[in-house]
Chain A
Amino acid sequence: MNGEYRILQDKLDKIGAFRFTIRGWSITLVVASIFGAATAKLPTYYGLLGLIFILLTFFLMELAQKRHGHTFSRRLAKLERRIWGLLRTASSDSEVFEGGMIPRIAHEIEDERKARWKLMNWLDSHGYWFFYGVQAVLIVVVVLLLERTTEFSMPDKDTTVNFVTNGETRPTAERDIPASQKTKKTQKTH
Protein backbone atom coordinates (compact mmCIF):
# COMPACT_ATOMS: atom_id res chain seq x y z
CA MET A 1 0.00 0.00 0.00
CA ASN A 2 2.85 2.32 0.86
CA GLY A 3 4.48 1.42 -2.45
CA GLU A 4 1.33 2.30 -4.40
CA TYR A 5 1.07 5.57 -2.50
CA ARG A 6 4.60 6.52 -3.57
CA ILE A 7 4.01 5.42 -7.17
CA LEU A 8 0.90 7.59 -7.35
CA GLN A 9 2.75 10.58 -5.95
CA ASP A 10 5.46 10.07 -8.54
CA LYS A 11 2.84 9.78 -11.28
CA LEU A 12 1.21 13.03 -10.18
CA ASP A 13 4.60 14.78 -10.26
CA LYS A 14 5.18 13.48 -13.77
CA ILE A 15 1.73 14.59 -14.90
CA GLY A 16 2.49 18.11 -13.67
CA ALA A 17 5.83 18.14 -15.49
CA PHE A 18 4.26 16.75 -18.67
CA ARG A 19 1.53 19.41 -18.68
CA PHE A 20 4.13 22.10 -18.22
CA THR A 21 6.21 20.69 -21.09
CA ILE A 22 3.38 20.48 -23.61
CA ARG A 23 2.38 24.03 -22.76
CA GLY A 24 5.95 25.07 -23.47
CA TRP A 25 5.90 23.25 -26.82
CA SER A 26 2.60 24.84 -27.70
CA ILE A 27 3.80 28.39 -27.00
CA THR A 28 7.11 27.82 -28.81
CA LEU A 29 5.40 26.35 -31.87
CA VAL A 30 2.80 29.10 -32.15
CA VAL A 31 5.17 32.02 -31.59
CA ALA A 32 7.90 30.59 -33.85
CA SER A 33 5.41 29.83 -36.64
CA ILE A 34 3.87 33.29 -36.49
CA PHE A 35 7.22 35.06 -36.58
CA GLY A 36 8.52 32.75 -39.26
CA ALA A 37 5.49 33.24 -41.47
CA ALA A 38 5.49 37.01 -41.00
CA THR A 39 9.13 37.37 -42.02
CA ALA A 40 8.95 34.86 -44.88
CA LYS A 41 6.39 37.02 -46.76
CA LEU A 42 4.30 34.10 -47.93
CA PRO A 43 1.74 34.52 -50.72
CA THR A 44 -0.97 33.43 -48.25
CA TYR A 45 -0.99 33.00 -44.49
CA TYR A 46 -4.05 30.78 -44.16
CA GLY A 47 -1.72 27.81 -43.72
CA LEU A 48 -1.08 29.09 -40.18
CA LEU A 49 -4.64 28.06 -39.30
CA GLY A 50 -3.35 24.49 -39.38
CA LEU A 51 -1.67 25.28 -36.06
CA ILE A 52 -5.12 25.22 -34.45
CA PHE A 53 -5.30 21.47 -35.09
CA ILE A 54 -1.92 20.99 -33.42
CA LEU A 55 -3.18 23.09 -30.51
CA LEU A 56 -6.23 20.89 -30.33
CA THR A 57 -3.96 17.83 -30.09
CA PHE A 58 -2.03 19.42 -27.21
CA PHE A 59 -5.31 20.35 -25.55
CA LEU A 60 -6.59 16.77 -25.76
CA MET A 61 -3.29 15.47 -24.38
CA GLU A 62 -3.54 17.83 -21.43
CA LEU A 63 -7.19 16.91 -20.89
CA ALA A 64 -6.22 13.22 -20.68
CA GLN A 65 -3.43 13.99 -18.20
CA LYS A 66 -5.80 16.07 -16.10
CA ARG A 67 -8.31 13.20 -16.03
CA HIS A 68 -5.59 10.79 -14.94
CA GLY A 69 -4.44 13.25 -12.28
CA HIS A 70 -7.97 13.45 -10.90
CA THR A 71 -8.25 9.66 -10.74
CA PHE A 72 -4.86 9.33 -9.05
CA SER A 73 -5.73 12.03 -6.50
CA ARG A 74 -8.88 10.19 -5.49
CA ARG A 75 -6.95 6.94 -5.23
CA LEU A 76 -4.36 8.70 -3.05
CA ALA A 77 -7.16 9.89 -0.78
CA LYS A 78 -8.48 6.32 -0.48
CA LEU A 79 -5.02 5.03 0.36
CA GLU A 80 -4.52 7.77 2.95
CA ARG A 81 -7.70 6.66 4.70
CA ARG A 82 -6.65 3.00 4.62
CA ILE A 83 -3.11 3.68 5.84
CA TRP A 84 -4.49 5.85 8.63
CA GLY A 85 -7.00 3.15 9.55
CA LEU A 86 -4.24 0.54 9.76
CA LEU A 87 -2.05 2.83 11.85
CA ARG A 88 -4.92 3.47 14.26
CA THR A 89 -5.64 -0.23 14.62
CA ALA A 90 -1.97 -1.08 15.11
CA SER A 91 -1.35 1.54 17.76
CA SER A 92 -4.69 2.58 19.19
CA ASP A 93 -3.21 3.67 22.50
CA SER A 94 -0.64 5.98 20.91
CA GLU A 95 -1.48 9.68 20.89
CA VAL A 96 0.48 10.13 17.66
CA PHE A 97 -2.41 8.82 15.62
CA GLU A 98 -5.24 10.56 17.45
CA GLY A 99 -4.78 14.08 16.07
CA GLY A 100 -6.02 13.41 12.58
CA MET A 101 -5.18 11.63 9.38
CA ILE A 102 -1.62 10.55 8.58
CA PRO A 103 -0.56 10.77 5.72
CA ARG A 104 -2.81 13.64 4.63
CA ILE A 105 -1.46 15.19 1.42
CA ALA A 106 -4.43 14.53 -0.90
CA HIS A 107 -6.95 15.45 1.82
CA GLU A 108 -5.06 18.65 2.61
CA ILE A 109 -5.13 19.73 -1.02
CA GLU A 110 -8.84 18.95 -1.22
CA ASP A 111 -9.51 20.94 1.97
CA GLU A 112 -7.63 23.89 0.51
CA ARG A 113 -9.67 23.61 -2.70
CA LYS A 114 -12.92 23.55 -0.74
CA ALA A 115 -11.85 26.62 1.25
CA ARG A 116 -11.33 28.71 -1.87
CA TRP A 117 -13.98 30.64 -3.77
CA LYS A 118 -15.80 28.62 -6.41
CA LEU A 119 -14.70 31.01 -9.15
CA MET A 120 -11.06 30.48 -8.21
CA ASN A 121 -11.53 26.72 -8.35
CA TRP A 122 -13.21 27.00 -11.71
CA LEU A 123 -10.38 29.14 -13.11
CA ASP A 124 -7.87 26.74 -11.63
CA SER A 125 -9.42 23.65 -13.15
CA HIS A 126 -10.29 25.26 -16.50
CA GLY A 127 -7.08 27.25 -16.97
CA TYR A 128 -6.01 25.13 -19.91
CA TRP A 129 -9.17 26.12 -21.83
CA PHE A 130 -8.07 29.73 -21.50
CA PHE A 131 -4.45 28.90 -22.34
CA TYR A 132 -5.21 27.12 -25.61
CA GLY A 133 -8.20 29.34 -26.43
CA VAL A 134 -6.08 32.49 -26.33
CA GLN A 135 -3.49 30.88 -28.61
CA ALA A 136 -6.15 29.81 -31.11
CA VAL A 137 -7.62 33.33 -31.15
CA LEU A 138 -4.12 34.77 -31.53
CA ILE A 139 -3.48 32.58 -34.57
CA VAL A 140 -6.74 33.66 -36.23
CA VAL A 141 -6.09 37.35 -35.51
CA VAL A 142 -2.51 37.16 -36.81
CA VAL A 143 -3.62 35.38 -39.98
CA LEU A 144 -6.27 38.01 -40.66
CA LEU A 145 -3.85 40.86 -39.99
CA LEU A 146 -1.13 39.39 -42.20
CA GLU A 147 -3.61 38.75 -45.02
CA ARG A 148 -4.88 42.32 -44.71
CA THR A 149 -1.36 43.72 -44.80
CA THR A 150 -0.58 41.67 -47.89
CA GLU A 151 -3.68 42.97 -49.68
CA PHE A 152 -2.61 46.60 -49.07
CA SER A 153 1.06 46.19 -49.94
CA MET A 154 0.74 44.08 -53.13
CA PRO A 155 -0.02 46.35 -56.15
CA ASP A 156 -2.65 45.30 -58.60
CA LYS A 157 -1.30 43.75 -61.80
CA ASP A 158 -2.86 46.46 -63.97
CA THR A 159 -1.81 49.40 -61.75
CA THR A 160 1.29 51.35 -62.81
CA VAL A 161 3.31 52.67 -59.91
CA ASN A 162 5.48 55.58 -61.00
CA PHE A 163 8.46 57.17 -59.32
CA VAL A 164 10.12 60.54 -60.11
CA THR A 165 13.81 60.86 -60.98
CA ASN A 166 15.25 64.26 -62.01
CA GLY A 167 11.78 65.67 -62.53
CA GLU A 168 10.90 62.85 -64.93
CA THR A 169 8.24 60.36 -63.98
CA ARG A 170 9.14 56.72 -64.75
CA PRO A 171 7.27 53.50 -64.33
CA THR A 172 8.67 51.11 -61.74
CA ALA A 173 8.92 48.04 -63.90
CA GLU A 174 9.64 47.27 -67.43
CA ARG A 175 6.40 45.36 -67.72
CA ASP A 176 4.50 48.53 -66.93
CA ILE A 177 5.99 50.54 -69.82
CA PRO A 178 3.55 50.74 -72.72
CA ALA A 179 4.63 48.86 -75.79
CA SER A 180 4.82 52.06 -77.92
CA GLN A 181 7.26 53.72 -75.50
CA LYS A 182 9.38 50.59 -75.32
CA THR A 183 9.81 50.71 -79.08
CA LYS A 184 10.77 54.39 -78.96
CA LYS A 185 13.37 53.78 -76.28
CA THR A 186 14.87 50.93 -78.25
CA GLN A 187 15.03 53.11 -81.39
CA LYS A 188 16.81 55.92 -79.54
CA THR A 189 19.53 53.65 -78.23
CA HIS A 190 20.32 52.45 -81.73
Chain B
Amino acid sequence: MSAPKKLTKQSLIVAIAELRSFVEEFDIDDAEDVQLRTDALISALIDAGLLSGKKNVRKVRLNVAIEGLTIKVPGREKLVVKAEMFCDLTNSYGGEPPQSDMEDAKSELEEIAEVLLPVLEKKLQNL
Protein backbone atom coordinates (compact mmCIF):
# COMPACT_ATOMS: atom_id res chain seq x y z
CA MET B 1 0.00 0.00 0.00
CA SER B 2 1.27 3.45 -0.87
CA ALA B 3 -0.21 6.91 -0.49
CA PRO B 4 -1.32 8.66 -3.70
CA LYS B 5 1.56 10.64 -5.22
CA LYS B 6 1.49 14.27 -6.26
CA LEU B 7 0.82 14.89 -9.96
CA THR B 8 3.97 16.20 -11.64
CA LYS B 9 4.69 17.22 -15.22
CA GLN B 10 7.60 14.81 -15.57
CA SER B 11 5.71 11.76 -14.29
CA LEU B 12 2.76 12.59 -16.54
CA ILE B 13 5.08 12.74 -19.57
CA VAL B 14 6.41 9.31 -18.59
CA ALA B 15 2.85 7.90 -18.31
CA ILE B 16 1.91 9.26 -21.74
CA ALA B 17 5.08 7.87 -23.29
CA GLU B 18 4.43 4.49 -21.68
CA LEU B 19 0.90 4.28 -23.08
CA ARG B 20 1.99 5.46 -26.55
CA SER B 21 4.88 3.00 -26.79
CA PHE B 22 2.67 0.19 -25.48
CA VAL B 23 0.23 0.68 -28.36
CA GLU B 24 2.96 1.10 -30.96
CA GLU B 25 5.06 -1.86 -29.86
CA PHE B 26 2.22 -4.24 -29.05
CA ASP B 27 3.44 -7.75 -29.84
CA ILE B 28 0.59 -10.14 -30.60
CA ASP B 29 2.94 -13.12 -30.27
CA ASP B 30 4.13 -12.34 -26.77
CA ALA B 31 1.42 -12.35 -24.10
CA GLU B 32 3.95 -12.24 -21.26
CA ASP B 33 5.48 -9.05 -22.64
CA VAL B 34 2.03 -7.51 -23.02
CA GLN B 35 1.25 -8.32 -19.38
CA LEU B 36 4.53 -6.74 -18.29
CA ARG B 37 3.79 -3.64 -20.36
CA THR B 38 0.32 -3.44 -18.81
CA ASP B 39 1.86 -3.55 -15.31
CA ALA B 40 4.38 -0.89 -16.37
CA LEU B 41 1.55 1.34 -17.61
CA ILE B 42 -0.36 0.93 -14.32
CA SER B 43 2.83 1.74 -12.38
CA ALA B 44 3.37 4.85 -14.51
CA LEU B 45 -0.21 6.00 -13.82
CA ILE B 46 0.30 5.44 -10.09
CA ASP B 47 3.68 7.26 -10.14
CA ALA B 48 2.04 10.16 -11.95
CA GLY B 49 -0.45 10.44 -9.07
CA LEU B 50 -3.38 9.78 -11.37
CA LEU B 51 -5.00 7.09 -9.22
CA SER B 52 -7.33 7.98 -6.38
CA GLY B 53 -6.95 6.64 -2.83
CA LYS B 54 -4.43 4.20 -1.48
CA LYS B 55 -3.91 1.41 -3.94
CA ASN B 56 -2.28 -1.97 -3.42
CA VAL B 57 -0.31 -2.04 -6.68
CA ARG B 58 -0.49 -5.84 -6.83
CA LYS B 59 -4.29 -5.82 -6.89
CA VAL B 60 -4.68 -3.12 -9.57
CA ARG B 61 -5.72 -4.41 -12.97
CA LEU B 62 -6.00 -2.05 -15.92
CA ASN B 63 -9.79 -1.77 -15.55
CA VAL B 64 -9.40 -0.90 -11.84
CA ALA B 65 -6.75 1.70 -12.73
CA ILE B 66 -8.99 3.37 -15.33
CA GLU B 67 -11.93 3.28 -12.92
CA GLY B 68 -9.84 5.05 -10.30
CA LEU B 69 -8.28 7.76 -12.51
CA THR B 70 -8.53 11.16 -10.81
CA ILE B 71 -8.92 13.01 -14.11
CA LYS B 72 -12.16 13.34 -16.03
CA VAL B 73 -12.40 10.58 -18.64
CA PRO B 74 -15.26 10.67 -21.18
CA GLY B 75 -17.12 7.35 -21.40
CA ARG B 76 -15.20 5.91 -18.46
CA GLU B 77 -17.60 2.99 -17.98
CA LYS B 78 -17.10 1.75 -21.53
CA LEU B 79 -13.33 2.07 -21.13
CA VAL B 80 -13.44 0.02 -17.92
CA VAL B 81 -15.32 -2.74 -19.76
CA LYS B 82 -12.80 -2.61 -22.60
CA ALA B 83 -9.88 -2.73 -20.16
CA GLU B 84 -11.37 -5.77 -18.40
CA MET B 85 -11.77 -7.44 -21.75
CA PHE B 86 -8.18 -6.54 -22.66
CA CYS B 87 -6.82 -8.06 -19.44
CA ASP B 88 -8.69 -11.32 -19.95
CA LEU B 89 -7.72 -11.56 -23.61
CA THR B 90 -4.02 -11.26 -22.76
CA ASN B 91 -4.12 -13.47 -19.68
CA SER B 92 -1.80 -16.41 -20.23
CA TYR B 93 -2.83 -18.52 -17.23
CA GLY B 94 -3.55 -22.02 -18.49
CA GLY B 95 -1.67 -21.46 -21.74
CA GLU B 96 -0.76 -18.87 -24.32
CA PRO B 97 -3.78 -16.94 -25.61
CA PRO B 98 -4.62 -17.61 -29.27
CA GLN B 99 -3.50 -15.06 -31.85
CA SER B 100 -7.10 -14.00 -32.56
CA ASP B 101 -7.48 -13.05 -28.88
CA MET B 102 -4.24 -11.07 -28.98
CA GLU B 103 -5.42 -9.24 -32.08
CA ASP B 104 -8.70 -8.43 -30.32
CA ALA B 105 -6.70 -7.25 -27.31
CA LYS B 106 -4.64 -4.96 -29.54
CA SER B 107 -7.74 -3.30 -30.95
CA GLU B 108 -9.18 -2.91 -27.43
CA LEU B 109 -5.96 -1.22 -26.30
CA GLU B 110 -5.98 1.07 -29.30
CA GLU B 111 -9.52 2.16 -28.44
CA ILE B 112 -8.54 2.75 -24.81
CA ALA B 113 -5.50 4.79 -25.86
CA GLU B 114 -7.62 6.79 -28.32
CA VAL B 115 -9.63 8.12 -25.39
CA LEU B 116 -6.93 8.24 -22.71
CA LEU B 117 -4.10 9.90 -24.64
CA PRO B 118 -5.96 13.16 -25.43
CA VAL B 119 -7.17 13.36 -21.82
CA LEU B 120 -3.64 12.93 -20.46
CA GLU B 121 -2.16 15.38 -22.96
CA LYS B 122 -4.79 17.96 -22.04
CA LYS B 123 -3.90 17.51 -18.38
CA LEU B 124 -0.22 17.98 -19.22
CA GLN B 125 -0.93 21.24 -20.99
CA ASN B 126 -2.85 22.53 -17.96
CA LEU B 127 -0.03 21.79 -15.55
> Which residues from chain A sit less than 8 Å from chain B, CB to CB?
74-78, 80-81, 84-85, 98-101, 104, 106-107, 110-111, 114-117
Q: By the criterion CB–CB under 8 Å, are A100 and B101 in contact?
A: no
Q: By the criterion CB–CB under 8 Å, are B93 and A100 in contact?
A: no
The distance from the CB of B43 to the nearest CB of chain A, in whole angstroms, is 15
Nearest B residue (CB) for A89: B100
The distance from the CB of B94 to the nearest CB of chain A, in whole angstroms, is 3
Q: By the criterion CB–CB under 8 Å, are B58 and A107 in contact?
A: no
Q: By the criterion CB–CB under 8 Å, are A78 and B95 in contact?
A: yes
Q: A85-B101, A111-B61 are in contact. Are A100 and B84 (CB under 8 A)?
A: yes
Chain B 76-104: CB-based contact to A (< 8 A → 1; otherwise 0): 00000100110110010111011001000
**Which residues in B have their C-beta under 8 angstroms from that of A111?**
61
How many residues in B have their beta carbons less than 8 Å from beta carbons of A? 17
Chain B 40-65: CB-based contact to A (< 8 A → 1; otherwise 0): 00000000000000001011010100
Q: By the criterion CB–CB under 8 Å, are A84 and B88 in contact?
A: yes
Q: A85-B101, A115-B59 are in contact. Are A98 and B94 (CB under 8 A)?
A: no
The distance from the CB of A113 to the nearest CB of chain B, in whole angstroms, is 10
Q: By the criterion CB–CB under 8 Å, are A85 and B58 in contact?
A: no
The distance from the CB of A129 to the nearest CB of chain B, in whole angstroms, is 25
Q: By the criterion CB–CB under 8 Å, are B81 and A99 in contact?
A: yes
Nearest B residue (CB) for A102: B88
Q: By the criterion CB–CB under 8 Å, are B85 and A77 in contact?
A: no
**Which residues in B have their C-beta under 8 angstroms from that of A76?**
94
What 5 new A-B contacts, CB under 8 Å, besides A98-B81, A106-B94? A78-B94, A78-B95, A81-B101, A84-B88, A115-B56
Q: In the complex, A66 Cα to B4 Cα: how many Å?
A: 40
**Which residues in A have their C-beta under 8 angstroms from that of B84?**
99-100
Q: In the complex, A75 Cα to B101 Cα: how many Å?
A: 18
Nearest A residue (CB) for B83: A100
Q: By the criterion CB–CB under 8 Å, are B93 and A104 in contact?
A: no
Q: In the complex, A74 Cα to B58 Cα: how many Å?
A: 22
Q: By the criterion CB–CB under 8 Å, are A101 and B94 in contact?
A: no
Q: In the complex, A40 Cα to B26 Cα: how many Å?
A: 72
Nearest A residue (CB) for B80: A99
Please, could you name 30 A-B residue pairs with CB atoms under 8 Å apart, sorted by A?
Answer: A74-B93, A74-B95, A75-B94, A76-B94, A77-B94, A77-B95, A78-B95, A80-B94, A81-B94, A81-B101, A85-B98, A98-B81, A98-B85, A99-B81, A100-B63, A100-B84, A100-B85, A100-B87, A101-B88, A104-B88, A107-B88, A107-B93, A110-B93, A111-B61, A114-B58, A115-B56, A115-B58, A115-B59, A116-B58, A117-B58
